[in-house]
Chain A
Amino acid sequence: EAGVTQFPSHSVIEKGQTVTLRCDPISGHDNLYWYRRVMGKEIKFLLHFVKESKQDESGMPNNRFLAERTGGTYSTLKVQPAELEDSGVYFCASSQELWGNTIYFGEGSWLTVV
């Protein structure tokens, strides 16, 4: 069974540019999460999809971040325009059931804004 896959694995962009990160969850997993780890800080929750609906987006830092999950399959996280403080690792995770299930993480997308 394929795990959670993320693309790109690494991205270096200039301040003001746009970057789109993609996540493909494990097949059949309705729940999809985005997390972020900024250098030296903890891994922070960004948002949670149940199928194509946003269940919880309380962790999204500001309106420069837009997450979508059209059709309830893969998800994209777009940062526009990117700022220096957006640099970090963006993790995607998925799980089958909402309650009490194991969350499976992707390898993360490293974003560097220069």
Chain B
Amino acid sequence: AQRVTQPEKLLSVFKGAPVELKCNYSYSGSPELFWYVQYSRQRLQLLLRHISRESIKGFTADLNKGETSFHLKKPFAQEEDSAMYYCALRSGGYQKVTFGTGTKLQVIP
């Protein structure tokens, strides 16, 4: 069975500090990993996916198959980054997505 674990429910950092949101997964095959973000009073939206290896809004995430991790990082947090972040896994391209419990990022001015 596939599973996504986000150990932190809440992460508070000061503006300008580095951010790392942790995500670990368990899946026997080759998964596709995503980060979704939900800003206050907005819909859930895709932030980035590991296969595109791109940086969105300064965030990056590297898939580490050895550690089965897909941590989300940003070198300098901004106030507008405050939101709920969900790590997610999709198996084999099929659209069914498994989500983690989410981490609330709070950037303190």
Residues in chain A within 8 A of chain B (CB atoms): 3-4, 31, 33, 35, 40-45, 48, 56, 91, 95, 98-103, 105-108
Please report the number of residue pairs spanning A and B whose Cβ atoms sit closer than 8 angstroms.
Answer: 47
| A to B CB contacts below 8 Å, 19 in the list | A3-B43, A4-B43, A31-B95, A33-B96, A40-B101, A41-B101, A42-B86, A42-B101, A43-B44, A45-B98, A48-B96, A91-B44, A99-B93, A99-B94, A99-B95, A103-B46, A105-B43, A107-B42, A107-B43
Contact present for B95 and A98 (CB under 8 Å) = yes
**Contact between chains at B99 and A44 (CB < 8 Å):** yes
Q: Are A43 and B43 in contact (CB under 8 A)?
A: no
Q: Which residues of B contact A (CB under 8 A)?
A: 4, 36, 42-46, 86, 93-102
The 6 closest A-B CB pairs, nearest first, are A43-B99, A105-B44, A99-B93, A42-B101, A107-B43, A100-B93
- Say whether A106 contacts B98, CB under 8 Å: no
Query: Does B95 lie within 8 Å of A101, measured CB to CB?
Result: yes
The residue on B at minimum CB distance from A100 is: B93
- A residues less than 8 Å from B44 (CB atoms): 43, 91, 105, 108
Most buried by B among A43, A101, A102: A43
Known: A4-B43, A98-B95, A108-B44. 6 other contacts (CB 8 A): A45-B98, A48-B96, A99-B95, A100-B93, A106-B43, A108-B43
Interface of B is mostly: loop
Main secondary structure of the interface of A (DSSP, over half): loop
Residue in contact with A98 in the complex, picked from B36, B86, B94, B98, CB distance below 8 Å: B94
Please, how many angstroms separate the alpha-carbon atoms of A101 and B90 in the complex?
11
Which of A43, A45, A56, A99 makes the CB contact (< 8 A) with B86? A43
Chain B residue nearest to A94 in the complex (CB): B95
